[in-house]
Amino acid sequence: MINFKPIRGMHDRLPDECDQMSYIMSVIRSVVESYGYKQVVLPIVETTELFKRSVGISSDIVQKEMYTFEDRNDESLTLRPEGTAGCFRAYLSEFHRSSPYQRLWYFGPMYRRERPQKGRQREFYQFGIEAFGYHHPSIDVEVVNIAYTIFNQLSLSSPVICKINYLGSSETREAYLNVLREYFSPFVGNFDEVHQYRFEQNVLRLLDSKDEYVKSLIKDAPKITNYLSDKELIEYSYIKDMLIKNEIPFEEDHTLVRGLDYYSGLIYEWQALDGLGAQNTICAGGRTDKLCEILSSKEGYSLGMAIGIERLAMLIDQIHYRNKQTIFLFTDNEDNNHELFNLQVAINEHHLNSFIHFGVSQLKKQLNRASKMGHTIAIGLIEGVWYLYNIESNEKHSFYTINEVMEKIHACKS
């Protein structure tokens, strides 16, 4: 017999994990929709060219992490590795001309063929927001603040900090890239193949290297903030001032560049200070104005952020997402199942949850089963009498009608 298992880096999400994800998304949805963001549902599969053009041909995602295949029409398709490109494509297709100002949010699975580790799988869930058409830097602060509000409402087990940097315009970036190439050029001969490729294709990517030798060089590397225009410096100062006034914790990190080619202006990462080790980034985002030019050859304004749900979930206590308690129903005679159905209808009409165990066994086994399944209340129809058991307090009450049972359930719940 073949023993089928999930593909490496992809796993089944069992009920407890689904409860946790539902709780997280209910909080996130409540927050983002209070700021006027509306949901879009995007395809999981897109044309490969969309990601090559948007994410960048030299990025790790395009180079070695995408799940790409050819369909029967020989068209190259890819399971989405991130959500921004697809959301931007939808914006250009549906809104760009008729309604250019949009605030959108999305949620769903993404796919990257990375080395699986705790909090980072090959199939992972991501929430993201994208705002289109807005140029003023106040919208940047709004998006950063939305993430901070989400973290506060989720009562994370770790404090968080927002690491920020400012990449500037294409002109600023190009000037800075030339300076970086000049700085790193004498050391290229000591680089491994990966870092030589980064030097040739996108020298900016050297700044987020984890290689100890390269990191030692980064300490003295030129900072991009020294090459920002007066206008960009004013905008960056405005953002920092707004973050301070809104009491959003942040630190400047001049080595922060993000791994995708479409970023410009403000970029940032929200990091957990405890509990996640080296892989402590739970949210990342920034300005993506370049995407409009890349994908439509026209100027435009856009920005966004994304949150990795699995990594975020590692910082949330079970007590915060425990699902509504379900009442465990059972009987000592299968002929009484119709009575259990009648009670279940009454319970559900009062917006409570119930669970019928279709199986007859000893009372002790039924109550042990209810306890192991996480129920705090069990109701059994035994020899024609209803018994309500409070499993936590070991109390037992008897009733002769469903109405009497319902009155006691409400008393227990209150």
Q: pLDDT tens for residues 176-233? A: 889 999 999 999 889 998 888 888 888 888 888 888 998 899 988 999 889 999 999 9
pLDDT at 61: 83
Q: Which residues contact 65 (CB under 8 A, 6 or more apart)?
A: 81, 112, 113, 114
Domain boundaries, the chain: 15-168+228-318, 324-413
Per-residue pLDDT of the chain (414 residues; tens, 9 = 90+): 678 888 899 999 888 888 899 999 999 999 999 999 999 999 999 999 999 888 877 677 888 889 999 999 999 999 999 999 999 999 998 887 778 899 999 999 999 998 888 778 999 999 999 999 999 999 999 999 999 999 999 999 899 999 999 988 888 888 888 999 999 999 988 999 888 888 888 888 888 888 899 889 998 899 988 999 999 999 999 999 999 999 999 999 988 887 666 788 999 999 999 878 778 899 999 999 888 888 887 888 999 999 999 999 999 876 555 555 688 999 988 888 888 898 899 888 888 888 899 888 888 898 888 888 888 889 988 888 888 888 888 888 888 788 888 887 777 665
Structure confidence by residue, pLDDT tens digits, 350-377 = 888 888 998 888 888 988 888 888 888 8
The number of angstroms, rounded, from the C-alpha of 302 to the middle of its chain's C-alpha atoms is 19
CATH class of 15-168+228-318: alpha beta
pLDDT for the residue numbered 296: 83
CA–CA dist 285, 349 (Å, integer): 44
pLDDT in the model for residue 286: 94
Is residue 394 exposed (0-12), middle (13-18) or buried (19+ Cβ within 10 Å)?
exposed
Comparing 15-168+228-318 with 324-413, is the CATH topology the same?
Answer: no
Could you say which of 3.40.50.300, 3.40.50.800, 3.30.450.70, 3.30.420.40 is the CATH number of the domain covering 324-413?
3.40.50.800
Among 258, 323, 232, which residue's Cα sits nearest to residue 14? Answer: 323
How far is it, in rounded angstroms, from Cα 390 to Cα 409? 10
User: CA-to-CA distance for 294 and 83, rounded, in angstroms?
Assistant: 16
Interatomic CA distance for residues 37 and 130, integer angstroms = 9
pTM confidence score: 0.86
Residue 148 CB neighbour total at 10 angstroms: 20
The answer to whether residues 113 and 9 touch, using CB atoms and an 8 Å cutoff, is yes
Q: Note the pLDDT tens digit of each residue in 119-145.
A: 789 999 999 999 999 999 999 999 999
**Distance of alpha carbon 153 from alpha carbon 167, whole angstroms:** 30
